[in-house]
Amino acid sequence: MKTLLRYIKIWLLFAKQELLFQFSSKSSIILFFIGKTVRFLSFLLILILLKHNTKTMAGYSIDEVIIFFLTFNFIDLVSQMFMRGVYSLTGKVRSGELDFYLAKPVNVLFRVLAGSPDFNDVLIFIPFLFFSAWYIGQAVPLLDAVRIVLYLAFLVNGLLISVAFHIFVACIGIITTEVDNTIMLYRELSQMGRMPMEIYREPLRFLITFVVPVGLMVSIPARVLLGKAPPSLLLTASLVAFTVFLLSLLSWKHALKMYTSASS
Partner 1 sequence: MESIISVQHLKKYYKVYKKQPGLMGSLKALFARKYESVQAVNDISFEIEPGELVGFIGPNGAGKTTTLKVLSGLLYPTAGEISVLGFTPWDRKPEFQKQFSLVMGQKNQLWWDLPAMETFLLNKAIYEIPDAQYKHTLNKLVTLLDVKDVMNIQVRKLSLGQRMKCELIAALLHNPKVLFLDEPTIGLDVVMQKVMRDFVREYNTTFGATILLTSHYMDDVKELCKRVIIIDHGKKLFDGKLQDIIDKYAKNKILSVVFAKETDQKKLETIGKVKSFEFPSATILVPRKEASRLAAKLLEDFSIADLNIEEPPIEAIIRDVFQNGK
Partner 2 sequence: MGNKLLLNSLKKYWVIAKITWMNGFTYITSFVMWRVRQIIQMIVALSLWESIFASTTTAFGYTSARMLTYIFAANIIGFIVTSSRTIGVSSIIHSGDLSLYLVKPLNFFLYWFSGDIADKLQNIAFSLTELTVLFFIFHPTLYIPTHIATLFLTLLAVSGATVMYFFINMMFGLLGFWTPDVWAPRFLFFTVIFFTSGSFFPLDIFPKIIVDILSYTPFPYMMFFPTKVLLEQLSSIEIVRGLLFTGAWATLCGLGAFTMWSRGIRTYEAEGR
Residues in the site for partner 1, rule: CB under 8 A? 16, 19-20, 23-24, 26
By C-beta, is 23 or 134 nearer to partner 1? 23
Residues 162-221 that bind partner 2 (CB under 8 A): 178, 180-181, 184-185, 188-189, 191-192, 194-195, 198-201, 204
Q: How far is the first Cα of the chain from the last one, in angstroms, to the nearest whole number?
A: 37
Rg value, the chain, Cα: 20
The pattern of x and - marking residues 38 through 77 that bind partner 2 according to CB under 8 A reads: xx--x---x--xx--xxxxxx-------------------
Among partner 2, partner 1, none, partner that 16 touches (CB below 5 to 8 angstroms by kind): partner 1
Q: How far is the CB of 36 from partner 2 (least distance, A)?
A: 8
| Cα 14 to chain centroid, rounded | 19
Among partner 1, partner 2, none, partner that 51 touches (CB below 5 to 8 angstroms by kind): none
Contact between 80 and 118 (Cβ < 8 Å) = yes
Full DSSP string of 69-117: HHHHHHHHHHHHHHHGGGGGHHHHHHHTHHHHHHTSSS-HHHHHHHSS-
Q: Is 124 in the site for partner 2 (CB under 8 A)?
A: no
Residues 22-41 that bind partner 2 (CB under 8 A): 25, 27-29, 31-32, 34-36, 38-39
CB atoms within 10 A of CB 217: 29
Q: H or E segment at 174?
A: helix 145-175
Of 91, 78, 73, 74, the C-alpha closest to 183 is 91
**Cα–Cα distance for residue pair 127/139, rounded to 1 Å:** 18
Among partner 2, partner 1, none, partner that 57 touches (CB below 5 to 8 angstroms by kind): partner 2
Of 230, 83, 226, the C-alpha closest to 161 is 83
* Three-class secondary structure of residue 202 per DSSP: coil
Among partner 2, partner 1, none, partner that 192 touches (CB below 5 to 8 angstroms by kind): partner 2
By C-beta, is 67 or 109 nearer to partner 2? 67
By C-beta, is 2 or 9 nearer to partner 1? 9
Q: How far is the CB of 74 from partner 2 (least distance, A)?
A: 19
By C-beta, is 63 or 148 nearer to partner 2? 63
**Cα–Cα distance for residue pair 237/72, rounded to 1 Å:** 16
Instruction: Please report, as ranges, the residues that interact with partner 2 according to CB under 8 A.
Output: 25, 27-29, 31-32, 34-36, 38-39, 42, 46, 49-50, 53-58, 178, 180-181, 184-185, 188-189, 191-192, 194-195, 198-201, 204
